Copies of this chain bind each other. A is one copy, B any other.
């Protein structure tokens, strides 16, 4: 049995999200059905992050076990001829049997995009949120600094989160503007359910002047969700990159699993 790790990009528009659901087609189901057909047996895949309906991924990390002797680096070529065009496999490699795509990740980069213009964008409508009111970028940048470091992000977790601990470390929350396109990049060790969309929604409200400059600080101190803005819409969010310690590819059995992350 070999454990294979795939790097998977997808446009989340057409899917109910990463995870298999009874109410519609998920990315996980498409991958499992395609792999099961290809490898003539039932394949179950495990992703690094459970992205919601409409959320995109540039680098979802997906593992599965198989007896197949297909060289791991050939999986992108084989799978991409079988998969719909809104799902692409960008890389494949073999990892040790004790590797785990979810419990061994040590860092994630998310990108949240906003079209900040009166009338929105036809071309970005499925890949960015639309904010019609002018945003104070300086205020948003200042506020984002309050997120950096190790904090209890309990206030940032939507109901439905299953994390055992809500302490997380963020080391990056950068905003950049290119024309009307505002891009927020958030990097941390791990994230709670809806955490990035809550950060984005709060930044929008701070930029709009509807929330005070220290909303993040208040939320971290009081752990009160009401200090924060709304959960920003899913189409603006992209799971950009998932990182693992080098040891995960060599001796994963030496590493401790972290649990309950989404």
A residues sitting closer than 8 Å to B (CB atoms) are: 9-11, 56, 58, 76-77, 80, 85-90, 117-123, 125, 127, 238
**Interchain CB contact (< 8 A) of A9 among B10, B76, B122:** B122
Instruction: Please determine whether A122 and B76 come into contact, CB atoms closer than 8 angstroms.
Output: no
Q: A58–B123 Cα gap in the complex (Å)?
A: 8
CB-nearest residue of chain B relative to A88?
B122
Q: A89–B125 Cα gap in the complex (Å)?
A: 14
Contacts A/B (CB < 8 Å), 9 sampled: A9-B121, A10-B122, A80-B120, A85-B125, A87-B122, A88-B119, A89-B119, A90-B119, A123-B127
Instruction: Please determine whether B85 and A9 come into contact, CB atoms closer than 8 angstroms.
Output: no
Instruction: Please determine whether A119 and B10 come into contact, CB atoms closer than 8 angstroms.
Output: no
Instruction: Please determine whether A88 and B121 come into contact, CB atoms closer than 8 angstroms.
Output: yes
Q: A228–B140 Cα gap in the complex (Å)?
A: 49
Instruction: Please determine whether B118 and A76 come into contact, CB atoms closer than 8 angstroms.
Output: yes
A126 to B: closest C-beta gap in Å: 9
Q: A127–B121 Cα gap in the complex (Å)?
A: 14
**Interchain CB contact (< 8 A) of A123 among B9, B120, B121:** B9
Q: A158–B77 Cα gap in the complex (Å)?
A: 34
Q: Which residues of B contact A77 (CB under 8 A)?
A: 119
Q: A127–B127 Cα gap in the complex (Å)?
A: 12
**Interchain CB contact (< 8 A) of A86 among B56, B89, B117, B125:** B125
Instruction: Please determine whether A11 and B122 come into contact, CB atoms closer than 8 angstroms.
Output: yes
CB-nearest residue of chain B relative to A56?
B123
A47 to B: closest C-beta gap in Å: 15
Instruction: Please determine whether B76 and A11 come into contact, CB atoms closer than 8 angstroms.
Output: no
A149 to B: closest C-beta gap in Å: 29
Instruction: Please determine whether A119 and B87 come into contact, CB atoms closer than 8 angstroms.
Output: no
Q: A90–B10 Cα gap in the complex (Å)?
A: 29
Q: Which residues of B contact A87 (CB under 8 A)?
A: 122
Q: A231–B113 Cα gap in the complex (Å)?
A: 32
A116 to B: closest C-beta gap in Å: 13
